[in-house]
């Protein structure tokens, strides 16, 4: 339902890869290869910072599960194009090419760093990793409030000073947009995984604790913005919940008191797997999850299925099953002996 140059184009192929990994179903593998190959033109595309979402979720999982000779070249070329958006004076990767901002950087951009980390490992060239780390540090220093909530957009002047801070997809500039908080905890957890720098781990913990404190819903699925006025009509955001669950499962393996993060992620997964969020087969346009929000202030994708909600839900399930030593055999859940 989207073109190859849309920022969400990598999630459906990625979901197919995860579905194949979870089930061993070769038909899903065939489809995953087919839909991943459709994204080949993205390797030449320089017009977005979302290249990590597009290529790491598709080709990155392909490299893990069905490696071939072409994947590494696609990932390297894409990483080079992402690095081309890095500005040395600002020490960050530019996000958008539209709007009136001088040099906008959005919290979502933390999610595109995994592509750079993976290409650094594959090539042995640390320039990719160095750029990712610099971007993460700049974002850490400027995107967050004292309570560890984050703005969505920070725009920089050419000398690296901050031009302005906004929340483009949240309730207002000073509110805590739910998916932005999820991108933050996921991004810094990944940075610690790739660097072993405790600065990133400590920061991920602070953001995770903030999320667990701020989300007051009974089922742990946040409203679209933590500061949205709550009525029966206020939409939840299953996509923010999925991203948070996946991040907290990983974070739980990194800290001594990790059980509380795993328990919270498990609560999210149980809610998402209930009839309240999990669609019936054949409904919901083929999506797995219902009730996500894209950009409510801009009137876009309100209380609707979204392909990235599905992707991170499947990723969270995969991570949870690996941790609990579970696997699917002939449609049934089994303990791995």
Residue 259 Cα to chain centre, angstroms: 22
* % residues pLDDT > 70 (the chain): 100
Residue located via tokens 């709007």 = 99
Q: Tell me: the pLDDT tens digits for 30-72?
A: 999 999 999 999 999 999 999 999 999 999 999 999 999 999 9
C-alpha span between 49 and 45 (Å, rounded): 10
193-337, CATH topology level: Glycosyltransferase (1.50.10)
CB atoms within 10 A of CB 230: 10
Mean pLDDT of 19-23: 96
pLDDT at position 281 is: 95
CA quadruple 159, 164, 165, 166: dihedral, nearest 10: -140
What is the residue-averaged pLDDT of the chain? Answer: 96
Residue 50 designated active-site: yes
Kindly state the helix (H) or strand (E) to which residue 26 belongs, with its residue range.
helix 26-37
Sorted by sequence, the CB contacts under 8 Å of residue 193 that are 6+ apart come out as: 250, 254
Are the CB atoms for 217 and 223 separated by under 8 Å? yes
DSSP assignment of 256-286 = TTTHHHHHHHHHHHHHHTSTTTBPPTT-GGG
Mean pLDDT of 147-165: 98
Q: Tell me: the pLDDT tens digits for 159-213?
A: 999 999 999 999 999 999 999 999 999 999 999 999 999 999 999 999 999 999 9
Q: In the chain, where are the structural domains located? A: 193-337
Given the residues 97, 108, 283, 303, the one annotated as active site: 108
Q: Among residues 61, 73, 67, which one has the least CA distance to residue 11?
A: 61
- Locate 84 and state its tokens: 């081309």
225 band by pLDDT with thresholds 50, 70 and 90:
very high
C-alpha span between 209 and 203 (Å, rounded): 10
Q: Residue 331: what are its φ and ψ, rounded to 5°? A: 80, 5
Given the residues 50, 225, 237, 310, the one annotated as active site: 50
C-alpha span between 115 and 93 (Å, rounded): 13
Q: Among residues 288, 302, 299, which one has the least CA distance to residue 223?
A: 302
Residue 88 designated active-site: no
Which of 42-51, 105-114, 321-330 is predicted least confidently? Answer: 321-330
Helix, strand, coil percentages for the chain (3-state, nearest 5): 55, 10, 35
């Amino acid at each position: 339902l989207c073109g190859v140059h849309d920022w969400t184009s990598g999630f459906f192929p990625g979901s197919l890869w995860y579905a194949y990994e979870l089930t061993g179903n070769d038909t899903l593998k065939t489809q995953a290869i087919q839909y991943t190959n459709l994204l080949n033109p993205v390797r030449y595309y320089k017009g977005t910072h979302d290249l990590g979402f597009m290529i790491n979720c598709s080709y990155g999982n392909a490299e893990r599960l069905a490696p071939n000779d072409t994947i590494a070249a696609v990932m390297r070329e894409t990483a080079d194009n992402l690095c081309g958006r890095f500005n040395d004076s600002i020490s960050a990767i530019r996000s958008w090419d539209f709007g009136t901002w001088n040099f906008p950087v959005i919290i979502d951009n933390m999610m595109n760093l995994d592509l750079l980390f993976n290409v650094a490992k594959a090539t042995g060239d640390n320039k990719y990793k160095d750029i990712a780390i610099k971007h993460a540090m700049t974002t850490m220093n400027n995107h967050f409030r004292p309570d560890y909530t984050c703005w969505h957009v920070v725009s920089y002047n050419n000398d690296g000073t901050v031009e302005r801070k906004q929340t483009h997809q949240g309730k207002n500039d000073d509110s805590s947009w739910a998916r932005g908080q999820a991108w933050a905890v996921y991004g810094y957890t990944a940075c610690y995984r790739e660097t072993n720098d405790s600065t990133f781990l400590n920061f991920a913990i602070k953001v995770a604790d903030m999320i667990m404190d701020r989300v007051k819903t009974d089922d742990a699925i946040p409203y679209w913005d933590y500061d949205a006025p709550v009525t029966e009509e206020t939409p939840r955001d299953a996509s923010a919940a999925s991203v948070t669950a996946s991040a907290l499962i990983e974070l739980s393996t990194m800290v001594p008191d990790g059980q509380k993060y795993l328990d919270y992620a498990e609560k999210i997964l149980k809610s998402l797997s209930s009839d309240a969020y999990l669609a019936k087969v054949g409904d919901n346009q083929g999506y797995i999850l219902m009730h996500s929000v894209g950009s409510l202030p801009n009137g876009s994708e309100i209380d609707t299925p979204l392909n990235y909600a599905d992707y991170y839900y499947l990723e969270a399930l995969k991570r949870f099953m690996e941790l609990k030593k579970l696997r699917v055999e002939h449609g049934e859940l089994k303990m791995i002996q």
